[in-house]
Amino acid sequence: MLMTPDKAAKRSDESFIIQTRDERDLDRILCANVQAVIYHPPTLPGWLLDLAATVQSGSFQVPRTILTNVRRDDIANWLDANLPAQELTPAVRGALMEDVAAMSDRLGRLSNVTRFALRIFTGAPNTECGFHVDTVAPGAPAFGLLRVYNGAGTQYVDPANVTSMRDFYRYLSRRERLKRELDFASRDSDQHSRNSIEGEIRRLDQDFDFLRRPGETRVAPAGSIVAFRHLDLSLHWSDHPKGLAWIHCSPMEGEPRLVVNITPARASSRFVRREASETAP
């Protein structure tokens, strides 16, 4: 049963992250107080290792793309039309398409929706985004699936280590303000201001004053599949229970990665949006 924002906000502040070798445990994201389920395959399939090598070499590239309010078949058709065909063998390309389709099938079964939002891209990690939470439209099922196919994994924090969401949003607000200031300084070619702001961002990303133990963060490794809580947009910036959203962060350096994120969608129209910059998981 899906909870309304009001009911969700009253949930216990206690939440858990499950680590598992059993893919069926991804369904446990439906359990009360489970913030995320991280499935570690016992062994990675050969096609994924071949894909990883091609992505890291830079020969396989997918523009940062968001498909909104699309059906499973729309996702499959888009992948078939847009995934580079020459850089992968037909078997590897087909396995990737089947893997994304399986993620949408699982999410559809768990969320009881037939339309999704899909985010897909290849790209090298950067410092654009620090720790954050993913959101969904008010009333949409508040969880999704993430797979990083290669490279550095996704950093996250134990909810018990978070002091409060108020403290987290104070960090997030300050980082977003600094990022805007950095963008202005870059446009004005003000190198002195840019160096100063970059130093502030680095300090902010090292101190993590929203954590009880700032040096304690964790990583969901590449190849794993993560089912995780998204936040109803109406609760964003509020001091809601910590268990309602997975606080995570993209790596800030490393080789190019392929990332796929699928969430339920409840929108009135279908469209595709491509952006030069987008928060990455």
Tens digits of residue pLDDT in 80-103:
999 999 999 999 999 999 999 999
Is the pLDDT reported for residue 266 higher than 90? Answer: no
- Identify whether the C-beta of residue 272 lies closer than 8 Å to the C-beta of residue 66: yes
Residues 115-165: tens digit of each pLDDT: 999 999 999 988 888 999 999 988 899 999 999 999 999 999 999 999 999
- C-alpha separations of 23 from 37, 42, 118, 143, 170 in Å: 10, 10, 21, 17, 36
Residue 6 in this model has a pLDDT that exceeds 60 = no
Q: What is the dihedral of CA 89, 93, 94, 95, to 10 degrees?
A: 100
Rg (CA), the chain: 19
**What mean pLDDT do residues 264-276 have?**
51
pLDDT-derived band at 12, boundaries 50, 70, 90:
low
Task: Identify the three-state secondary structure at position 30.
Answer: helix
- Check whether 28 has a pLDDT greater than 50: yes
Task: Give 218's strand partners.
Answer: 156
pLDDT at 278 over 50: no
The answer to whether 211 and 162 have CB atoms below 8 angstroms apart is: yes
How confident is residue 252, by pLDDT bands cut at 50, 70 and 90? confident
Q: What is the pLDDT of residues 201-236, one digit of tens each?
A: 888 888 899 999 998 999 999 999 999 999 999 999
pLDDT for the residue numbered 243: 92
